[in-house]
Structure 1
Amino acid sequence: MQPTTTTPIRLLIADDHEIFRDGVRAMLKKQKHLELTGEAANGEQLLAKAEELHPDVVITDIRMPGTDGIAATRRLQELMPEVSVIALSMYDEEHLIVEMLEAGARGYLLKNAPKEEIVQAIETVHGGEVYFCRATSPRLAELIAKSSYNPFRKRPATELNEREKEIVRLICQQLSSREIAEKIHVSHRTVEAYRDRLLDKVGARNVAGLVVYAIRNGIYKL
């Protein structure tokens, strides 16, 4: 039997800071299932490189000279809707992140995200899912939930029972699993099992996605 081979995920990075691109490039060298096919310093280069290289995933800064990440993402989704876009942002760019998602991005990361999270985000959007940065603030979660962007529209409606809703609300209040366990008088492992099941039920990859779901569906209000 021939050994099976996995085709690497082809990446294109766009950022006007060369030092940042250098860091991502160095990180990707150790990931055999990820292949950096090209780099761009602005939106115009991003679009040209995308048409030339046909990447699977584009990671792009939001603020760039000339054509910014929002305009480039919107155009890219018109030309190549199969390409998954991940937005790179700073802490104070919450409204811009929402605009990126509405333009067609399928995920976002803060620029100081750890290597493991960058890899997870790439794998997630390449798999057709949405990725919310783990460091999503409550304010940003609310902005996303109240925007026209709906990452859950392709999933059938999910019914949560009252116990599940209670746990979701406590998670949204940023209580730890142990704190939730003490509050509702169950074991820590029971809360962990509930959380994993809830993530699977609503189609979220992490707590940030669960919070967006809860706000959008009226389960939790800030």
Structure 2
Amino acid sequence: MKCLLVDDHTLFRQGVRRLLESESDFEVISEAADGGEAVEKAREGRPDIVLMDIGMPGLSSFEASRQIKKNRPETKILFLTMYEDEDYLVQCLEVGASGYVLKDTPAPQLLNAVRDVYKGGKYLSSQVLGKLVEDFRSRVRDTRMRPRISTLTPREREILKLLAEGNSVKEIAVILGLSVKTVEAHKFNLMRKLDIHNKAQLVTYAIQKKIIKIPVNQ
């Protein structure tokens, strides 16, 4: 398979070249030190795979990858980077990359990654994949645990605001023209939905959600 190496660090490119050329199924057809040069070398050499760095001078790696894929869709892009960053990973996938490998990946894993991508597969470094999984789990936990104000009815929101402003249940009953028992029921429901257990938590929640405003001392 024909490979193009793109990285602004010459020593790193040379190291990867030696690794690839030590295997009989790899051929490094060219090297590039920036995104613009990568686009030109890819147009000339028509590589099967481009190993692309992130954060090079000149044309961005993402724009270079986009142009390479536009000129020759069958060329595979594998990002080889030091960044263990979810935002970078998303951008790489958006421009059509097939792999995202960290530069400290062991040589055998890098070779496997290139071969997998060449065969049409996708490859993510285990460190990056692990981070994504943990981030996802954390978001799921937060979503499940986070009390949601959207679950409140309009009446419950109204009572939440009045309670946070310091009104008693009896006062709220008079203000809204409801029975004390009805207000108590709404109060119980809204505190259950929001996982609130006392007045202090209720006021704190109302401030955080900007349901009530705290005046600023001048």
Coarse TM-score class (shorter-chain normalised): 0.5 to 0.7
State the 4+ residue runs in structure 1 displaced beyond 6 angstroms. none
Paired residue for 1:117?
109
Does the CA contact (< 8 Å) of 2:51 and 2:79 recur in 1?
yes
Superposed CA RMSD: 1.9
In the aligned structure 2, how far is the partner of 1:90 from the partner of 1:31? Answer: 24
The answer to whether the aligner puts 1:29 opposite 2:10 as a matched pair is: no
How far 1:98 sits from its partner (Å)? Answer: 1.4
Matches within 5 A, 1:171-190: none
Cα gap change, 1:33 to 1:101, in 2 (>3 Å): same
For normalisation by structure 1, the TM-score amounts to 0.58
Q: Deviations over 1:142-170 (max 9, x none)?
A: 779xxxxxxxxxxxxxxxxxxxxxxxxxx
In structure 1, stretches of 5+ residues that fail to align are 1-8, 145-222
Q: Deviations over 1:65-124 (max 9, x none)?
A: 011211111111111110000012224433112101111100110011111111111111
The answer to whether the aligner puts 1:84 opposite 2:76 as a matched pair is: yes
Q: Which has the higher contact order (CA 8 A, sep 6+)?
A: 1
Cα gap change, 1:141 to 1:56, in 2 (>3 Å): farther
Matches within 5 A, 1:15-164: 15-141=7-133
Aligned amino acid, residue 44 of structure 1: G
Aligned residues: 137
Identity of aligned residues (%): 37
Give the 3-state SS of the residue equivalent to 2:52 in structure 1. strand
Aligned amino acid, residue 48 of structure 2: D
Does the CA contact (< 8 Å) of 1:14 and 1:39 recur in 2?
yes
How far 1:138 sits from its partner (Å)? Answer: 3.6
In the aligned structure 2, how far is the partner of 1:137 from the partner of 1:32? Answer: 29
- Computing the radius of gyration from Cα coordinates, the structure with the larger value is 2
Bigger share in helix = 2
Cα gap change, 1:115 to 1:78, in 2 (>3 Å): same
Give the 3-state SS of the residue equivalent to 2:101 in structure 1. strand
In the aligned structure 2, how far is the partner of 1:100 from the partner of 1:143? Answer: 18
In the aligned structure 1, how far is the partner of 2:125 from the partner of 2:68? Answer: 22
In the aligned structure 1, how far is the partner of 2:90 from the partner of 2:53? Answer: 14
Cα gap change, 1:44 to 1:91, in 2 (>3 Å): closer
Q: Deviations over 1:45-68 (max 9, x none)?
A: 000000000000000001110112
In structure 2, stretches of 5+ residues that fail to align are 137-218
Does the CA contact (< 8 Å) of 1:62 and 1:100 recur in 2?
no
Does the CA contact (< 8 Å) of 2:2 and 2:48 recur in 1?
yes
Give the 3-state SS of the residue equivalent to 1:135 in structure 2. helix
Give the 3-state SS of the residue equivalent to 1:59 in structure 2. strand
Cα gap change, 1:60 to 1:143, in 2 (>3 Å): farther
Does the CA contact (< 8 Å) of 2:84 and 2:128 recur in 1?
no
In the aligned structure 1, how far is the partner of 2:54 from the partner of 2:133? Answer: 18
Cα gap change, 1:80 to 1:93, in 2 (>3 Å): same
Paired residue for 1:172?
none
In the aligned structure 1, how far is the partner of 2:60 from the partner of 2:86? Answer: 16
For normalisation by structure 2, the TM-score amounts to 0.59
In the aligned structure 2, how far is the partner of 1:32 from the partner of 1:26? Answer: 12
